[in-house]
Amino acid sequence: MDKIQDLLLKTNISNDSEQMFRMKPGRSTEATAKCIYGECDGSGLIYSIKEDGQEIARVCKCREYKKQLRRIKSARIPTDHVDNTIKDFQTEIYKKEESVSIARYAKKVASCYVEQYYEMEDMGKGLYLYSKTKGSGKTRLSIAIINDLIIKHKVKPIYISVVNMLNEMKNSFSNKETNVNSYSLMESFKQAQVLVLDDLGVEKTTEWSEEVLTQIIDERMSYKRPTIITSNIPISLLQQKYPVGRIKSRIEKMTFPVIMPEESIRELLAKQENDKIAEMFFK
């Protein structure tokens, strides 16, 4: 800077000229490692100087990426499933031919749901993914759907298992030190733009738990907020699990049923991951 000032003094250039000297046309933002694309300084903006000396800014791709990360974080998506997308949902991994066919159908429904999300939102329609078999891909596909909704439609969803949801509600009653109370928790589940309730029916049913579920589901149905549910119970048998009788009819109205394969792929996916690790270790 001292050298520039000395030069300006020697050549008798004014302060205005000094400003023009500094602001040469072209890019003025230095790319750093803070930007995952290596295009900005991490601020999410790329500044340039026009020929007339005017400074302009354009948004870097990393800004939207950071917004997506915040949506994923607020959606409470498990780390193991953060990268799941519908495109990556493997249908050929199932061993039974019938399972492959069912998985392809479920994947097609999931893709159509994301593509036609705004129509589904207007109708207040979600999905009900079910199969009796644990590890059949219900959770994986449901999270893939909301990940795609975040990416393609900037939706702000919430994912939670029914067991964890009820436990959080109970803890909010007993733990007075927490800043989260039962009312705010309940409201977050009621008002989420899209809510994924995972493993409905696994929880121990009590009069209280059924009432909590009923309140959440009832409000979401009333205000047409899409809800995606996974369960090992077909809708037709929900009455047996929830004898008060208000949950089954509401879920029938607010979701489109999607059958999932009666075959577990959890062990197969684990084997795939271990095979990749073995390849890394011994290549």
Looking at per-residue pLDDT, the higher value among 216 and 74 belongs to 216
pLDDT tens for residues 182-202?
888 899 999 999 999 999 999
DSSP run (H or E) holding 197: strand 194-200
- pLDDT for the residue numbered 5: 38
pLDDT at 25: 58
Q: Rounded to an integer, what distance in angstroms lies between the CA atom of residue 83 and that of residue 144?
A: 8
Sign of CA dihedral 270, 276, 278, 281: negative
Query: 45-104: per-residue pLDDT in tens?
Result: 888 887 777 888 888 877 776 666 666 666 678 777 788 899 999 999 999 999 999 999
Q: Which of 77, 63, 64 is nearest to 192 (CA)?
A: 77
**Residue 6 predicted with pLDDT over 70:** no
* pLDDT tens digits along 225-263: 999 999 999 999 999 999 987 999 999 999 999 999 999
Q: How confident is the model at residue 47, as a pLDDT?
A: 84
Label the pairing between strands 26-27 and 45-49.
antiparallel
Interval 131-165: pLDDT, tens: 999 999 999 999 999 999 998 999 999 999 999 99
Q: Which residues contact 135 (CB under 8 A, 6 or more apart)?
A: 264, 265, 266, 267
pLDDT for res 180: 65
- Average pLDDT for 23-45: 74
Concatenate the DSSP letters of all residues of 95-107 into one string.
Answer: SSHHHHHHHHHHH
Mean pLDDT, rounded, for 194-217 = 95
- Among 216, 245, 221, 249, which Cα is nearest to 235's? 249
How large is the average pLDDT for residues 111-120? 98
Q: Quickly tell me which residue has 């109205």 as its tokens.
A: 253
In the numeric block, which tokens belong to residue 1?
Answer: 């800077």
Q: What is the pTM of this model?
A: 0.75
DSSP 8-state code for residue 29 = P
Q: Is pLDDT at 9 greater than 50 in this prediction?
A: no
Report which residue type is found at 273.
E
Q: Is the pLDDT assigned to residue 17 strictly greater than 50?
A: no
Closest CA to 224 of 112, 129, 119, 95: 119
Which domains can be identified in the chain, with CATH numbers? 2-62 (no CATH), 75-267 (3.40.50.300)
Q: What is the pLDDT of residue 176?
A: 61
- DSSP notation for 232-252: SS-GGGHHHHSTTSSHHHHHH
Q: Which residue has the higher pLDDT, 23 or 149?
A: 149
Residue 282's pLDDT band (cuts 50, 70, 90): confident
HSE on the CB side for 44, CA within 13 Å? 6
- What pLDDT is recorded for position 57? 83
Mean pLDDT of 117-141: 96
User: What's the rounded Cα separation, in Å, for the pair 138 and 230?
Assistant: 6
